[in-house]
Chains A and B, each alone.
Chain A
Amino acid sequence: MKKVALMHADDRPYGAWKYVLLLLLISSVVLIPYGWLVLQSFTNPEGFFTLENWTFMTQETMIRHGVSLPVATKPMLNSLKFATLMALCVVPVTVCAAYPLSRTDFIGRKLLARLLIIMDAFPQVALLTSFIILLSKMHLTNKLIGVIFLKVAMYLPGSIWLMKGFFDHINWDIEWAAIVDGASRFKTFLRVIVPAAKPGIAVILVNSFLSGWGEYILISIFMRGNATTMSNFISSMLDAEDGKYLVPAGILAAACIAYIVPVIIIFIFAQKTLLEVRQGGSKQ
């Protein structure tokens, strides 16, 4: 395993701080909105520290006269359910589909690989009409499982392609060794290849979960109601009455933070696996 050589702080040229400053300035375009969001969620309109923006987690929030959003735990759980189910569907299908594409030669392999790339590039919205027909024929409209079905189908081509790349990088030697050692093709796949592709599988798992967590378009189109998932919940807060927003900016910011925090938690837990690039236990 090669150690990646990093430029040590001591070896940096003098005056590098000027560029660091410049880069920080450019990055501020991204950083400032996040900072603003955090500040906003903990301040009241008078500019003092407060926790009352977070009440949407425990009580209903009024968005129009007579219309309120439910307690946020429900959309939170729904988002969690949506994202988890999505990841659980995507990972096994992706792994099982990508392996033969990477390792075996069969009729139509090249065509299939090309189709994957094209399908990955299709814009979701262009397929909406067919989605509507499909879901209504399957009696899955206004059901979370129906949207998950669509979302997984849309997500698979890209993830299979990505996973194929991970499999391509696994040394053939280790697969051959397992076959010579007497393992069947399936056992080789399960005991040797899948463990070796673990970081890649983790990437697919986390990415598909986050894609499900962030889904908005399909949910807002196929699900009725204001608070099915968190994305939906937040967009409902932007509902205006007579050109006036009833939900204060502080609450909106707090809801956004609540939507972001689980993502950060996932990254903290997954980063070790995601950063791990291990290859066959060999020096190459």
Chain B
Amino acid sequence: MSEPMIRLENVGKSYDGGKTFAVRNINLEIEKGDFVALLGPSGCGKSTTLMMLCGLYRPTEGSIYFNGRYVNNVMPKDRKIGMVFQSYALYPNMSIFENIAFPLRQMHMKKAEIIEKVQHVAEIVKITEYLKRMPAQLSGGQQQRVAMCRALVKDPDILLLDEPMSNLDARLKLEIRDEIKKLQERIGVTSIIVTHDQEEAMAISSHIAVIDQGVLQQYAPPDELYRHPKNLFVASFIGNPPMNFIDGTLSCSGGVYECVTEGGVLKIPGEKVDSSLLTGNHVVLGIRPHNFDLVGGPEDALTLHTDYIEHLGKENLYRCYMGDAKLRVITPISVDHPVSEALYVCPDYDFVSVFDKETGNIITK
């Protein structure tokens, strides 16, 4: 197999001589043309990872390879990267043209060539009309585009985006998100985006690396993350509204796993569970709000009590409780179940994830 575009080998970054870790033991392989999202809650180490990729931080452990080349000690300017910062980081004293031309000027490129390149990239991102203005005269979305231009103007091998959309309002965010995705597909540049917004990551990227507390939790395409989260953290972080978690006790009888929960007994098909991963019989069931069917009675179902109903327009969201556990159940708008009556729901077993309570890891296939 050929060398991947980016390879991280046991990469770690510690401070105070190894006392506190921002990131530890990250292994990642990113192929040419991939759009990878580094996703995690704030302070999880995703930005640190990006800073190590762009060369502003040096890893304290492990190695980073770009196209097979060891780059741990390579200066940012020699890494063939373009970067978009959260605050866009436009130089306030320079015109938009000069901002975009800045990286080229540092390469001592000829004037005519600079003008041509800036024009070209400005056309792609559609900001030609602003070239003469100053950054302070542009709106947030326009500044964001200029930052993209500046990152792309030197034809980088890798485009790094550090929370590029967190300063935009919700509507503009969607628009810019589409644009970035289309642009990336069009020019095919390998891109890495840092974000804490799981929806953004799901929408924009071809692969997502979920990071928590400095440790890579799972690296997979978005649909796999959604369907088969490796552990409880990934399961809880991906998806909106979030997954429901139900504590239960698992026992096997005749090829079927019976899971006893507070709200009833569920029968999980035996071929789904990898029993070798079980450490005890305490498990956590993970069921997404969409994956429930309403049934008539309490047999092989969960008995829930409705707290209140959110009418979301395209569907109804039942906020329920089952003992102490709070659950969300999404139903079609045609369902009009009275709040006072018990709600019997049966999960769609194809989409049920079972996690070992002890290790937090998934035990379903």
Question: Which of A's residues lie within 8 Å of B, judged by CB?
Answer: 1, 171, 173-174, 176-183, 187, 191-192, 195-196, 198, 278-284
Residue from B81, B91, B143 whose CB has the most chain A CB atoms within 10 Å: B91
Measured in the bound complex, the distance between the Cα atoms of B134 and A278 in whole Å is 13
B91, A195: Cβ atoms closer than 8 Å: yes
* Closest chain B residue, CB of each to CB of A175: B89
Chain B residue numbers with a CB within 8 Å of A179 are 56, 76-77
**Chain A CB within 8 A of B83 CB:** yes
Closest to B77 in A: A182
Residues of chain A within 8 A (CB-CB) of B134 are: 281
The contact string, 1 if C-beta is below 8 Å from chain A, for chain B 79-100, is: 0011101111111110000000
Within 8 Å by CB of B89, from A176, A182, A191, A283, lies A176
Q: Tell whether, in the assembled complex, residue B92 and residue A280 are in contact, meaning their CB atoms are under 8 Å apart.
A: yes
The number of chain B residues with a CB under 8 A from chain A is 28
CA distance A176 to B76 in the complex (A): 9
Sample of 15 A–B contacts (CB below 8 Å): A1-B136, A171-B87, A173-B88, A174-B85, A174-B89, A180-B56, A181-B103, A181-B150, A281-B88, A281-B92, A281-B143, A282-B87, A282-B89, A282-B167, A283-B140
1/0 per residue, CB under 8 A from A, across B138-167: the answer is: 001001000000100000000000000001
- The CA-CA distance from A177 to B154 in the complex, in Å, is 14
Residues A192 and B140 in contact, CB atoms below 8 Å apart: no
Q: Is B2 an interface residue (CB 8 A)?
A: no
B93–A198 CB distance below 8 A: yes
Residues of B within 8 A of A196 (CB): 91-93
Q: How far is the CA of A283 from the CA of B139 in the complex (A)?
A: 9
Interface centre among B55, B89, B103, B140 (most CB of A within 10 A): B89
Q: Contact check, B93 vs A173: say whether CB atoms are below 8 A apart.
A: no
| B:183-242 near A, CB below 8 Å | none
- Shortest Cβ gap from A276 to chain B (Å): 10
B102 close to A181 (CB less than 8 A): yes
Task: Output the least CB separation between B340 and chain A (Å).
Answer: 49
Query: Least Cβ distance of B174 to chain A in Å?
Result: 18
Please determine whether A195 and B92 come into contact, CB atoms closer than 8 angstroms. Answer: yes
Say if the beta carbon of B54 comes within 8 Å of chain A.
yes
> B106 and A177: CB pair below 8 A?
no
Give chain B's interface residues, CB within 8 Å of chain A.
Answer: 54-56, 76-77, 81-83, 85-93, 102-103, 106-107, 134-136, 140, 143, 150, 167
In whole angstroms, how far apart are the Cα atoms of A192 and B135 in the complex? 13
Contacting residue for B77 out of A173, A180, A278, CB 8 A: A180
* Beta-carbon contact of A283 and B56 below 8 Å: no
Closest Cβ of chain A to B154, distance in Å, is 8
Q: A176-B85, A180-B83, A181-B102 are in contact. Are A282 and B90 (CB under 8 A)?
A: yes
Q: A182-B77, A281-B135, A283-B140 are in contact. Are A174 and B107 (CB under 8 A)?
A: no
Q: How far is the CA of A24 from the CA of B102 in the complex (A)?
A: 53
Q: Choose among B85, B87, B107, B136 the residue that contacts A182 (Cβ–Cβ < 8 A).
A: B107
Additional 15 contacts, C-beta under 8 A, given A195-B92, A196-B91, A282-B135: A173-B86, A173-B88, A174-B92, A177-B89, A179-B76, A181-B103, A182-B76, A182-B103, A182-B107, A183-B106, A195-B93, A281-B88, A282-B88, A283-B140, A283-B143
Q: Which residues of B contact A282 (CB under 8 A)?
A: 87-90, 135, 143, 167
Instruction: Tell me the bound Cα distance from A263 to B60 in angstroms.
Output: 55
A281 touches B85 (CB 8 A): no
Most-contacted residue by chain B among A177, A178, A187 (CB, 10 A): A177
Cross-chain contact B87 with A173 (CB below 8 angstroms)? yes
* Bound-state Cα–Cα, A187 to B56, Å: 17
7 tightest A-B contacts by CB? Answer: A182-B106, A281-B92, A281-B135, A195-B93, A182-B77, A173-B89, A177-B89
Whether A281 and B76, one on each chain, are in contact in the complex, defined by CB atoms closer than 8 angstroms, is no
- A279 to B136 Cα, complex, angstroms: 10
